[in-house]
Amino acid sequence: MTRTVYLNGDYIPETEAKVSIFDRGFVMGDAIYEVTAVLDGKLIDFPGHMARLKRSLGEFSIRNPLDDDAYLAAHRKLLELNGITDGMVYLQISRGNGGDRDFVFPPEDTPPTVVMFTWNKPGMADNPLTQTGIRVITLPDIRWKRRDIKSVMLAYPSMAKMQAKAAGRDDAWLVEDGFVTEGTSNNAYIVANGTIVTRALSHDILHGITRAAVLRFADEAQMKVEERNFTVAEAQAADEAFITSSSMFVMPVVQIDDAEIGTGKPGPVAARLREIYLEESRKSAI
Ligand code: PMP
């Protein structure tokens, strides 16, 4: 079945969706995106994704071309047209077609380019990796200094992921000034002395929507949480490690570089948080 995608108000086959070569997203990485998970045909944490979208657009001074209801309606229509029960919806908004490539922004009335498409991922919540956990390498975090903005400038995270694959691992944790910032496309956590530790929010990391939910659920379950920097050595000596993201939910990490974490098997805290996260987010899905 040909996928139906959204482009600037139209629902069209993916083969017919064409964007100008002058689009600022294409020539300059001048675009913002969001990725929302779908379970049982419903959108997980949709208001959180909308809030972050607006914040990112604001930081880039890209006009928000639609209101939340229009984004929601378009997400739902794509799910219906593509018969998605479990999967993801990608949304990207670029500064639009600026004509000849120019560092100066195009005129204010240039329409942003809005693209949405879906992935079908049946059984996404039963990812077999949850049973084994994932193994990561560490790499220097050489991304720009505004990682809190969800922009499409993803060349380095993608290169880091490829380095991890080349090393026979699943992903990379990025390190700056001796401290872990986050994973290539996920937030990073350790569990030590019964406390969940994750880096505090700042311009250094993406403010994960899953992170916000997981920390709230951890708090409600009376689990101890500390938002602070941690080193690679501290992570390697921890009882558990895990990541969170919209597509992986909560995923255990069992190895960091050459060190096995804890027993080398997925730990109970990550398993419990995953269970609570999936249960609660299914309840609030729309
Ligand atoms: N950090 C980075 C760098 C990411 O790309 C992502 C995934 N978008 C995350 C963290 C996790 O964010 P979320 O939970 O909102 O998917």
Instruction: Please tell me whether residues 19 and 147 are part of one structural domain.
Output: no
What pLDDT score does 65 carry? 97
- Nearest to 33, CA basis, from 14, 50, 11, 16: 50
Whole-structure pTM value: 0.97
Whether pLDDT at 23 is above 90 = yes
Q: 14, exposed or middle or buried, with CB in 10 Å at 0-12, 13-18, 19+?
A: exposed
Average pLDDT value for residue range 74-83 = 98
Look up the CATH number of the domain holding residue 247.
3.20.10.10
How many domains does the chain divide into?
A: 2
Say yes or no: CB of residue 44 within 6 Å of ligand 1.
no
- Which residue matches tokens 């002058």? 22
- Atom index in ligand 1 nearest the CA of residue 45 equals 15
Q: What percent of the chain has pLDDT over 90?
A: 99
Whether pLDDT at 36 is above 80 = yes
Largest CA distance in the chain: 58
Structural domain of 50: 4-123
Looking at 89, 104, 123, the residue that finishes a domain is 123
* 160 Cα to the center of ligand 1, angstroms: 15
Active site residue 150: yes
Whether pLDDT at 243 is above 80 = yes
Say yes or no: CB of residue 208 within 6 Å of ligand 1.
yes
Whether pLDDT at 194 is above 80 = yes
* 2 Cα to the center of ligand 1, angstroms: 28
Name the pLDDT band for 88 (thresholds 50, 70, 90): very high
What pLDDT score does 41 carry? 98
Residues 123 and 86: beta-carbon distance below 8 Å: yes
